[in-house]
Each structure stands twice: as C-alpha cells, then as structure tokens.
Amino acid sequence: MVEIQPENLPIATFAVWALLNLILTIVTVLIAVVLIAAWFRKRDDVREDSEYEQKERKYLAPRIAASAAAVASIIVFILTQDMSLPMILYDKWSILHGIIVIAVVILAIFSKKRNGDQEPDNSKDINS
C-alpha cells in the first residue's frame, strides 16, 4: 500500500453554478422580448405605408440580433451551468454573460428611433 503525502494531494475543485449568470441570462431575454414585442405592437398600430415600412426595416435588424443574442445566452447558460450543484455568486463564465448583456443593451439603443425619424401622421385633419 502506497501512502500519499499531504503536499502531493491535488487541489480540490468544486463544481458550482453562478447566480449572476442566471440573472444576466434573464435580463438578456427580457430585453429581447421587450424589443420584439414593441416592434410588433408598433407595426400593428401603423397603417401600411411603403416609405414607413422601409424605415422600419432598418430598426428590425438590431432587434433580431438581440433575439439571437438572447437565444445564445440561454444556450451558453444551459451548457455551462449545472443547477443541481451548489450555487455561488459568479464564476469564470460570468464575463461572457456580461458581454452578451452589454451587446444586447447596445443593440437595444440602436433599435430606438432617432429624433430625425418621424412616424407618419395617421390622424385626419379635423378642419378639412
């Protein structure tokens, strides 16, 4: 029988999952859902105007990209976190989740209309 000396023991690594990663994933998904829901709501409220539709398409791309980032965030969370293990606040994957949230926030900012972009006036002139 071989005796193992205490200085030769491997350093124990504990398998855990990070609460911050779950929170950041939820925030990412919520931002993407709000962006897509706002686009559909606005689209239903506005009459069919081809010029307006062309302007709206440029705001759709960042919203689709935000949705794709939200799906990627969910996939990364599922692949890197085992929620049956003990929980810690953050781990090495928290940086990646933080980068995804920052990217989605930037995409949300780009999906907002600028002051120069006006919606078409759907109201009828009362005096005419």
**How many domains does the chain fold into?**
1
**Reported pTM:** 0.72
Quote the CA–CA distance of 122 and 128 in Å, as a whole number. Answer: 14
The pLDDT tens digits of the residues spanning 37-92 come to 887 776 655 555 566 666 667 778 888 999 999 999 999 999 999 999 999 999 99
In a domain, 3, yes or no: no
Quote the CA–CA distance of 105 and 21 in Å, as a whole number. Answer: 16
In a domain, 60, yes or no: yes
In a domain, 120, yes or no: no
Residue from 3, 101, 119 nearest 51 by CA: 119
pLDDT of res. 40: 79
In a domain, 63, yes or no: yes
Phi, psi of 18 (to 5 degrees): -105, 130
Q: Which domain holds residue 37?
A: 15-110
In a domain, 19, yes or no: yes
Q: What is the mean pLDDT of the chain?
A: 80
